[in-house]
Structure 1
Amino acid sequence: MHKKTDAIATLALYEVEDPSRFGVVDINGRGQIRSFVEKPKIEEAPSRLINAGVYVLDQAIFDIIPAGKKISIEREIFPLLAMKDKLYGMKFEGIWVDLGKPNDFIRANKLMLDLIANEKLFLEKDVKISKNAKIILPVAIGKGAIIEEETHIGPYVSIGEGVTVRKGTRIENSIIFSKVWIDHFTSIRGAIIGEGAIIEGWVKIEDECIVGDHAIINNNVTLTKNVKVCPSKEVKKSILEPETVM
């Protein structure tokens, strides 16, 4: 489409229920974007078609962007191109998820697992799973991961490369990045655990909590209600209300 028009920029567009979190377009029947509004109030949005974050840009874009100046292409350049009739859009019909918030990331994980692991466990090479571990699909497990006895994994769990999940641990609706160590009898539900984190024994992590890369969560700690632990931080006591550990 981009080559068939005189567009300087062509945007992938996606239709959503609530456009107030996104850049929203008003588009005509030829695919030409007549206006571009960044994060409008829902009642002021020109449509429900949003900027999906995928662009095809002509070299002429560099004639419009001021040299040596930091700009927002969405807030400054796209509205200008719309005024000059040089901004086009094409509606995208596939799966698209904004990953701006933890619940968005977890929802995207669900969608992906439904596609690749709904009927069969998705395993990479050299994974070791104990015979009495319980796996509830859909689940994806990365290369070299170790899942010990009496664990319950799933549904909707992605486990990265080199992860160790020790005896009696339960994980559901969560994303575990690579090289994480999860000690015995821990419970992780609806959470994101960053690369190289250490989760000690009898820990509970739930309700959209995020544990950053290489963080350490000590024995018997409970994290709930959107707690965010920054990378390389150590948590020694339970946190039961929204908080960022820095």
Structure 2
Amino acid sequence: MRELILEPEIFNLMPDGAHSIERDVYENLAATGGLNGFPFEGWFVDAGTPKSFIEASQACISAGSFSSGSVDRGSWFGEGSTNKGEVVSSTIGFGACIEEGSVFATQLFWRDPEIGPNCHIEGCLIGMRARVSRRVLT
């Protein structure tokens, strides 16, 4: 999630329809000296795709960035989550319920999903309060 502070005139520079503010607006502003910023110490990941969002989540796990929950086998588990399956390199949201026989790798689950038994899912984002039935394969 990011926050942008933009002058109202910036919206006049945006093309109609879907676009990339970085490529369609910022590059032109930078070229004309109209883009400002401030020094930043830390790290930033532009997580604009499901793949990059999962990678950013993995970077947070590796860096120990979570202030709650627990880490096990390269996965972060939010408070109140239960895991009866096999989870590797994933981010499991608060209150998640993963049933027996389910296998996950490089996942990101939002808050309160229910994952049925014997699901094998890899490289997906599972939404908030999603319900995944038994024996789902990706």
Give distance in 1, aligned partners of 2:134 and 2:41: 46
Give distance in 1, aligned partners of 2:109 and 2:88: 12
Secondary structure at the residue paired with 2:52?
Answer: helix
Matches within 5 A, 1:1-246: 61-62=7-8, 64-65=9-10, 71=14, 74=21, 75-76=24-25, 79=28, 82-83=31-32, 85-89=33-37, 92=40, 94-116=42-64, 124=68, 140-141=69-70, 153-155=72-74, 157-166=75-84, 169-206=85-122, 208-222=123-137, 224=138
Q: Which has the higher contact order (CA 8 A, sep 6+)?
A: 2
Give distance in 2, aligned partners of 1:54 and 1:193: 23
Q: Unpaired segments of 5 or more residues in structure 1? A: 1-52, 125-139, 143-152, 225-246
What are the superposed Cα offsets for residues 100-152 of structure 1, whole Å, 9 maximum, x if unpaired?
Answer: 122212222222222227xxxx784xxxxxxxxxxxxxxx529xxxxxxxxxx
Percentage of pairs with the same residue:
24
Give distance in 2, aligned partners of 1:184 and 1:116: 28
The one-letter code matched in structure 1 to 2:70 is I
Give distance in 2, aligned partners of 1:205 and 1:82: 44
For normalisation by structure 1, the TM-score amounts to 0.43
Give distance in 2, aligned partners of 1:209 and 1:175: 11
Give distance in 2, aligned partners of 1:54 and 1:212: 22
Instruction: Quote the offset at 1:93 in angstroms.
Output: 6.0
Give the structure with the higher percent strand. 1
For normalisation by structure 2, the TM-score amounts to 0.70
Give distance in 2, aligned partners of 1:123 and 1:81: 36
Q: Unpaired segments of 5 or more residues in structure 2? A: none
Instruction: Quote the offset at 1:194 in angstroms.
Output: 2.6
How many residues get paired?
A: 131
